[in-house]
Structure 1
Amino acid sequence: MAVAALAPSPGEGASDISCSSIFVVDGDTFRCDGKRIRLQGIDAPELDGHCRPGRQCTPGDPIASTDNLEGLMARGTTRCNQTDTDRYGRIVARCTSKGVDLSCEQVRSGHAVLRYAPISC
């Protein structure tokens, strides 16, 4: 998918991000205008070679997780509200596409697990 423009939507705060198109990195991370955004409250299976030694990574199919997130985001404009910045410098955010909460839908569909921060779905 193409990289999107990253800008606050009219009338919204500085932490609100609107992406018209995106590049999905994996099942819980995507890029928008060169900025990495990490979905809040979930952990998706790691792509091959991305699970650091000694870390217990989320089980499952990383390709299916990535494809599912890409499909969710292809439905329409993705909007995010930044909640934090992680230790890797990624924006941590709650994001929706066509009104669907991406973190909650990744968990509901079995493509991620709840982890790191409590979220209400």
Structure 2
Amino acid sequence: MPYHHDGDAIRCGGAGRSMRLYGIDAPEMPGACRPGRQCTPGDPYASRDHLSSLTAGRSVRCEKVDTDRYGRSVVRCVASGIDLSCQMVRDGFAVQRYGRLNC
């Protein structure tokens, strides 16, 4: 079962690090927005919980497409045919950023 720390990351199985969802940015958890950075507005808990609802009880498949500047894998993930990045943007819990979504 996937674990979600926030609305734009996923950790599966025994993966040691979270992987970043391709093409989106979600609100940061309290204290995670570094000074001088303009972080995505919104409720970070609602965003995380919505992402969790999209993966709960579903088969999730992820494909690595890049590595971010922090060394994390950037992945495109689908849960039972639903592109997680596209759905998070569609539902208003994330914004498109860091890549071009093809929804």
Q: Look up the match of 2:82.
A: 100
Structure 2 alignment gaps of length 5 or more: none
Aligned to 1:30: 10
Bigger radius of gyration, 1 or 2?
1
1:75 Cα shift? Answer: 3.6
Residue 24 of structure 1 aligns to a residue whose secondary structure is coil
Matched, 1:72 2:54: yes
For the pair 1:82 / 2:32, whether they are aligned, the reply is no
Normalising by structure 2, we get a TM-score of 0.94
Tell me which stretches of 4 or more aligned residues in structure 1 moved more than 6 Å.
none
Counterpart residue type for residue 79 of structure 1: R
Distance 1:110 1:41 in 2: 14
Cα distance per residue 1:42-94 (max 9 Å; x no partner): 00000100000000000011000000000101141110110001111111011
Alpha-carbon RMSD across the aligned residues, in angstroms, is 0.8
Using CA pairs below 8 Å that are at least 6 residues apart, which structure has the higher relative contact order?
2
Aligned residue pairs: how many?
A: 101
Q: How far apart, CA to CA, are the structure 1 residues paired with 2:10 and 2:67? A: 14
Q: Which residue of 2 aligns with 1:62?
A: 44
Q: Secondary structure at the match of 1:52?
A: coil
Q: Which has a greater percent of strand? A: 1
Aligned to 2:30: 48
Gaps (5+ residues) in structure 1? 1-20
